[in-house]
Structure formats: C-alpha cells, structure tokens
Amino acid sequence: MTNPRLAVSACLLGSKVRYNGDACEFRPLSRRWSEHLDLLGICPEVGIGLGVPRPTIRLSRGDDGVRLVQPSSGEDLTDRMVAWSEKTIESLVGLGIDGVVLKKDSPSCGIERVKVHGRREGSPMRNGTGIFPMVAQALHPQVPMIEEGRLNDAEQAEHFLSRVHFHHRWRLAGAEGWTAARLMAFHNEHKLFLVARTADGKRRLGRVIAEGFDAGKPASEVALAYMIEAQRSLGNLVHRGRFAHAMERALARLGVDVAPGVRQDIITSIHDYRRGLLPRMAPMLLINHLARASGEVPSWLGHLAQPVPSSTGVLRRV
Ligand code: SF4
C-alpha cells in the first residue's frame, strides 16, 4: 500500500523560498506526518520566475477585478501566475496527488481571507483567494485542499486526512481503469465512512452513480463526478452524533456473538463519545477489538477509522 501524496507550499516544508529568504516550516507535517504521507513541495512565486529574496506582491482590486501585482514595479503578474497554476495542477494530478496543503495569507497560496488591497491606501479587505488555489479548485475540485493554519486543530486535521485517504483509496481503486462494478464496490465499501462524515452523502453519491450510468456516461467520467460530489459533501466537519450513529451501525453489522455485557459496554462507550465524555478512539478500539477477536477487521470498518494526529502530533489509528 502506497502513502497518500500531498502537494504542499514549499515554505511549509522548510524551503527558504519566501519573499524575505526565509521558510515557515510547519513541523507536524514536515517532520512527523511525513512518515505517513509523500510530500511534494511547490512554490508558485518561484515557479513564475520571481527570485529569492524578492519584492512583495499582493492582490489588488482594479477595474478588471482582482489582480496579482508587484507594487514596487507596478507589474501585473496575474496572467503568468494563472498559466503556471493551470500547468502545475494538471501535472500534480497526473502525478497522483490526493490533497493540497497551502500557506495561509499568501496572495499566491492562501485559500481564504487573503488581503485584497483597494485603489486607495487603507485597510485591505480580507476576502481574497490566492491565484494557485483559485485555479486548482476550479480545475480539480475532487482534490481536497486546506491551509496549514487549520491543521493546528486536531479535529480539522483528522477530517482533512480522512478526505485525503478517501481520495487515495479511490485513486488506487481506479488505477487499472474504472468500471461500473469497481465504482459500485468502492461505494459499498465506503458507505459507513460516508454515513459517519456527511449529512446525506451516501444517498446523493448513489444517485450520482445511477444517473451517470443511466445517461450512458463512461465509467471514468462517473467516477470523477462521484469524487467531486464526495469531496463537496465532506467539506464540513463531522458531528459527534453522526459518527456515533455510524459506530452503532458498525457494531450491528459485525453481527458477531458477544456476551450481552460486552456489547452493552461498547454501546455505553459510544454514548459517552456522543456526549463528549470520551474520545472517538475509545469505542472504536473496542469495536476493532471485537472484530479482530472474531477474525479479520473488515475493510469497511478499517475505512471508518482514519489515522488521526494525536495531541502529540503522532498519527495513530482510532
Ligand atoms: S508562494 Fe507559496 S510556497 Fe512560495 S513562499 Fe509564498 S507562500 Fe510559500
């Protein structure tokens, strides 16, 4: 099994490519999570030929919308950056990336709340998106994307990594070409994963498959539409209640003979998780233990429990 592959702003990996010649290494990713992920560094500003160090650039609102400009020279870099971004995201997807982690606040890399300057000097609006993520999301919405700032929150980090692993398994499932049977098998394997993490994703994704094949579309096209809709559905954080419900379904689906007291202990721990009294890993460990004691842990159960960063920053399975 290969590791999921992420494209990452090069400065977050410790490369000294920022405008001032510094890096801003995000160590949980570059030093710890990198054991479990393949990381590819990209720097859009170096990519379009700007040197290190270099004059700062920024997003500015003009007559023809928001542009990427270098105030010191007055140069408009938008077209160069858009062209580089289009070429780069296509080659990254060709290389098999499963997600993108980008540096916040950058006019080239920031995904949200990037400063946009007006015509007059004054407070910029914090409502912009950097050029690279804007282009990448428009061309490949099936690839999950996040800023490093959000990865400091354990729940957001876990949720993003679950989206990355989901994309990774989808990519492997279709590596030898998509067929209707392969896509249905993938969907069936991930029903509980979707129940745990989306409001209505399982049903809507079933409909994407049915409508795609009813319309006679090629399997690869249906599979891509499936992943675009899946990542859209997975855009929000999971509620505890939803995940607890999926664990109850997993327990029922295991269907193994178990003493009533043991089953009740697991149900109690799921309730305690739902009420915020236990971490998710407590009931998941019990369910996994039960599955292992009665044979192999089924793959659908393995998919439900994703690797998560613990408070010490080490990935582990829950
Ligand atoms: S363009 Fe992106 S990768 Fe390059 S230094 Fe700026 S934030 Fe980092």
Determine the pLDDT at residue 124.
94
Residues contacting ligand 1 via CB (< 6 Å): 9-11, 17-18, 43-45, 103, 106, 108-109
CA–centroid distance, residue 176 to ligand 1 (Å): 35
Residue with the smallest CA separation from ligand 1 atom 8 is: 11
Angle formed by the axes of helices 260-274 and 240-254, nearest 10°: 160
Query: CB–CB of 166/189 below 8 Å?
Result: no
Determine the pLDDT at residue 308.
55
Pick from 8, 43, 70, 145 the residue to mutate for probing ligand 1's pocket: most ligand atoms within 8 Å of its CB: 43
Phi, psi of 130 (to 5 degrees): -60, 160
Determine the pLDDT at residue 237.
85
Determine the pLDDT at residue 137.
98
Q: Cβ atoms within 10 A of the Cβ of 158, count? A: 21
Query: CB–CB of 3/315 below 8 Å?
Result: no
Of all atoms in ligand 1, which is nearest to the CA of residue 24? 8
> Strand pairing of 5-9 and 38-42?
parallel
Distance from C-alpha of 290 to C-alpha of 266, rounded to nearest angstrom: 10
Could you list the mean pLDDT of each consecutive 10-residue stretch along the chain, which spans 318 residues?
Answer: 93 98 94 90 98 97 92 96 98 98 98 92 91 98 97 88 94 97 96 92 96 98 98 90 93 80 92 92 89 82 66 44
Determine the pLDDT at residue 65.
92
Q: pTM of the entire structure? A: 0.92
Q: Cβ atoms within 10 A of the Cβ of 4, count? A: 22
Determine the pLDDT at residue 314.
42
CA–centroid distance, residue 111 to ligand 1 (Å): 12
CA–centroid distance, residue 9 to ligand 1 (Å): 6
CA–centroid distance, residue 17 to ligand 1 (Å): 7
Of all atoms in ligand 1, which is nearest to the CA of residue 106? 7
Q: Cβ atoms within 10 A of the Cβ of 105, count? A: 16
Determine the pLDDT at residue 299.
84
Nearest residue to 130 (alpha-carbon basis) of 179, 81, 80, 75: 81
Residue with the smallest CA separation from ligand 1 atom 6 is: 18
CA–centroid distance, residue 85 to ligand 1 (Å): 13
Of all atoms in ligand 1, which is nearest to the CA of residue 109? 2
CA–centroid distance, residue 45 to ligand 1 (Å): 6
Which sequence spans correspond to the domains of the chain?
Answer: 5-152, 154-233, 240-317
Distance from C-alpha of 52 to C-alpha of 59, rounded to nearest angstrom: 19
Determine the pLDDT at residue 317.
42
Determine the pLDDT at residue 311.
42
Query: CB–CB of 99/4 below 8 Å?
Result: yes
Quick one: three-class SS letters along the chain?
CCCCEEEEEHHHHCCCCCCCCCCCCCHHHHHHHHHCCEEEEECHHHHCCCCCCCCCCEEEEECCEEEEEECCCCEECHHHHHHHHHHHHHHHHHHCCCEEEECCCCCCCCCCCEEEECCCCCCCEEEECCHHHHHHHHHCCCCCEEEHHHHHCHHHHHHHHHHHHHHHHHHHHCCCCCCHHHHHHHHHHCHHHHHHHCCCHHHHHHHHHHHHHHCCCCHHHHHHHHHHHHHHHCCCCCCHHHHHHHHHHHHHHHCCCCCHHHHHHHHHHHHHHHCCCCCCHHHHHHHHHHHHHCCCCCHHHHHHCCEEECCCCCEEEC
Which amino acid is located at 271 in the chain? H
Determine the pLDDT at residue 120.
74
